[in-house]
Amino acid sequence: MVSMRRKKAVWRNLKGIIYVVVMLGILYTLLTIQSLVIHDSTLEAGTDKAAKGSQFVYQVPIEIQSLNPVYDADLMWLNESDIENDDLNTKTTISEDTPSLTVSISPMRYHRRPIIPLRQRANKTLPSGIPMIIHQTWKTRQLPPRFRKWSRSWRRCFPEWELWLWTDESSKRFIYKRYPWFLEKYRSYDQEIKRADAARYFILYHFGGLYVDLDYECLRPFDHLLDIPLVFDSMRVGNKWAYANGTFPYVQNSFMASTKGHPFWMEVIQEMTTRSGDQWPQGATGPYLIMDTLRNYSQSHSDFRIYPPQYFNPFSWDIYDNPYCKDLNAMTDREIDLCKSQYPGAYAISYHTQTWGKGKIL
């Protein structure tokens, strides 16, 4: 009799435990559904707000593998592992031997503040057709303090634009997924700066927008200067670095803007494939590649503009005619302010840190 009572008591206790577990499971499910509803409504509200230009997204467009979401007050990172199954629908064929290429971007899933999905924002363009996207590249997702500070200046100048940060890994993934025919050449380069150079040309061809190095600081907006499909800046140089005996501007590949799919970039890329991968960077993938191609392009095209140095590149790493300015990241913060103050008419300034070479990373 006692044994029977004990069994009944144990059974009642067991049923009570099962009941509690089931109820907790139901409660957890309801709370999860509610949080998803709140998430969706928050995202929609953020879309309306960002459409008015009050949000600026700083993000990594592509990554080699899925990443855990990185929450940061200023940086927005994609959590997607690919760039497939989207609706930009940009298709182009560059030759009979090259497969059709499709561009796509995945919407952000994780965020700290509401933002507009890329597929809804990346189509915004200037009247010239240049997409309102700023591209920058770095080795990893962690920017050095000065680069982070200068990158923020572009957010202040262009609050309605997207800002995309490309890493070495995301650039590699992009080439692998969209331009596999170039991958062998891409891998053959003996310096990472050459791969970074090459990637920026594909990025501008594929997406369009403004590419700018991380050692540029934006001083004031200049949307009105991007009123032509292809834009470059230039820099003052002495006789040693003069291009074409000084008859053609010294154009760097650190500040470039274009429409999406502009044919100039395919000419650059095709020329790049003919050059030796172990050549010096300026000639293999850098400024001399751009100037050679641009000089040839100018013989039959006029849809581009090269701005004089005082617009975006007033401080030259070759002509040391300003005692307040030093290259290679050798200036203190106070010296940077003094250097910048010498060019009140400039829209941007490059500090020529040359971190890929002898410049310090600060």
Q: Strand 216-218 to strand 209-212: parallel, antiparallel, or no bridges (unpaired)?
A: unpaired
Residue 3 main-chain phi, psi, to 5 deg: -65, -40
pLDDT of residue 358: 62
pLDDT at 242 (0 to 100): 84
Mean pLDDT score, 329-337? 90
Q: What is the mean pLDDT of the chain?
A: 76
Task: Give 2's Cβ-side CA count (13 Å radius).
Answer: 0
- Three-class secondary structure of residue 66 per DSSP: coil
DSSP codes, 283-307: HHTSHHHHHHHHHHHTTT---EEE-
How does pLDDT run across 120-179, given as a tens digit for each residue? 444 799 999 999 999 999 999 999 999 999 999 999 999 999 999 999 999 999 999 999
Strand partners, 33: none
Sorting pLDDT into bands at 50, 70 and 90, what band is 38? very low
Residue 71: the pLDDT is: 24
Cβ-contact 200, 135 below 8 angstroms: yes
Per-residue pLDDT, averaged over 35-43, amounts to 36
| Position with higher pLDDT, 25 vs 103 | 25
- Work out the average pLDDT over 181-202: 96
**91: Cβ contacts below 8 Å, ≥ 6 apart:** 100, 101, 102
> Is a pLDDT exceeding 80 seen at residue 282?
yes
56-350 fold? Spore Coat Polysaccharide Biosynthesis Protein SpsA; Chain A (3.90.550)
DSSP-derived secondary structure for 238-296: -TTT-SGGGTS-B--SSEEEE-TT-HHHHHHHHHHHTS-TTS-HHHHTSHHHHHHHHHH
In the predicted structure, residue 223 carries a pLDDT above the cut 60: yes
pLDDT(84) > 90: no
Q: Which two tokens stand for residue 223?
A: 């949307």
Query: At 68, phi and psi to the nearest 5?
Result: -65, 140
Per-position b or e across 56-91, b if 16+ CB within 10 A of its CB:
bbbbbbbbbeeeeeeeeeebbbbbbebbeebebeee
- Judge if pTM exceeds 0.95: no
| Inter-residue contact 108 to 76 (CB < 8 Å) | yes
